[in-house]
Structure 1
């Protein structure tokens, strides 16, 4: 692999042993995939920060890094953790053990000691981070949250591979990643096009199911080209989350949405029928009255909160009292300023910041609990953990409560 003089100097340890080790990891991974050089990154987003995800082994790894003097060399943010840091009891049906609280605190202190910005959200694109860092179309980053990776590439035109949490961590310390995959403009040009024949604009749940279909069907190494009418920001977020959870796609080139020229490399055209999508929606629809209505996987947007308030206002406090919203602390403060928090809490809604039902101890405490959500990603992961889950758009969720 070709290295610049600066990269050779870092690898030689002239900027500290920790940064040299981090760059060594990036170089070895790059060589393994055939990358010929490295590129600087403007930002890193580290996943796998929840103690429920990484356990004691991950905690020890981070603690050793921090003790060695490792520091992030580019702005670096962090994914959700095991609980709401300021209100640990916010997650319903969960009793946090002192051991989890202590371990999670040590993880956060280690990351903060290395210079991380503890935004604790899976939607860094909703926060002030892109503006503060100056992220623009074509910039390279190293993000480790699969839904954010797909959203960055597909909606924002920011370039990032789907990095594992440790690799995003190393990239943040090194300030470099390998030039491969989504960082390569040629890789970003689709060779297989999917067109959905549909009489309607897709809501977020339909977009999520469409993401499942594409993720399980697409086999080409290049991203798919998608021609489908997606109904706004929530649909784009849920499509991105679904292709990252049901499969391993880092990008979908969405006609009319994704920045950049898709090129003229299309070799195969696939037509999909809405009827197939509708039948899958029927399979996933709640066949029960839910104990919990869940919105915010990935973390909720302000527009989703507005939609939820309108829906709950018609249904009353019974539905509101069963509703849980997970959201970034940043957007929670914005919603607080707009009066949305007060309005939703007035209907009984519970807010969970910094965390979500997926990476918290919820699934271990929720045997027999029934959840209805607008998120395919929440359905995918909660159902794998033994929770009964049904899928419905925000407007339909309150109607499930009698």
Structure 2
């Protein structure tokens, strides 16, 4: 008995001196629990025909050796054991491939339970849903798809828009072109409003008084409130040509040019009012975006089963607000082109009333417009340079090419290609010729 006991102690001591690791087939098998693996690692002592299981800690304690760490058998309460939106490995084990953002690791195991795990799980769930929602809206931001969702939400029918996008080969092969465009039906309220305005197209005012009082902008928003001033050298040239003494703010004397200038003023007045309305629309759409952001922050407090449906509504609302902003900007671009047409009409009226050459008129018509002046700073700068150049040429002509003495009939001047240099004034550094009529050197 003593020899058997001594032999068993020696075997236990040798087993304790080696690191105990489960076999690979046991470690990879998820069906083997930690307690079962510990039991399989414990040595067994055979006494005769009866096998006795000796706990490893007691055996090592009897041999005065440090105890080996054992895996405690406790219920899992970490995020790895709970149902979470993150993908888990098929084996159900907590390895490095199934970790989640926000979950910390401990020394005792791959996951530990803490108060921040629920918050990390919830925030990751929100991010995952937002990414999935952005995938459906941002990666596929086609306008027809948005219109289909809007029609389903509001309850109207879209009209397929057929456009000639097929090639000649498709027409030859009798293949219809693929067209995914859709059109929104005309709203009856808008149609009624437009038809009411169109009843008197000649006498209807450019802007409604109600809209004029409702949508206002500060005075420093030049170009959006009133007609631009037209104090320019072009107007001065037109006044000098027609030899009129009327005020500077009046229209050209020609009836056709007066009609053209009046038409440009009406178009510009309507376009400026529409731009003010568009400015309000942009701010309103931006306010809707901010409201949906606040609603999204409040949605985090909802239960998990209600949050998913509510998050889908938030994403649809944010997408609708984004398209509202884009629609307002598109309207602003269109109305700005209408205002440019009004500026072009007024410029054309004043340029035709002036005595400028056609090439000069064409160049001045297309110079930038800033909203302050009808013709802008570049028009004034160009005309000022031309005026200075003309003044210089006139001075040089008066010095070197004076008018020839008139004959008895008082007609005719000396031709420009045959100048008559009659000036006898000698400038510094210039040698005056002795011969009569010879040009100075």
> TM-score, normalization: structure 1?
0.18
- TM-score under structure 2 length normalisation: 0.16
Structure showing greater radius of gyration is 2
Higher helix share: 2
Structure with bigger strand share is 1
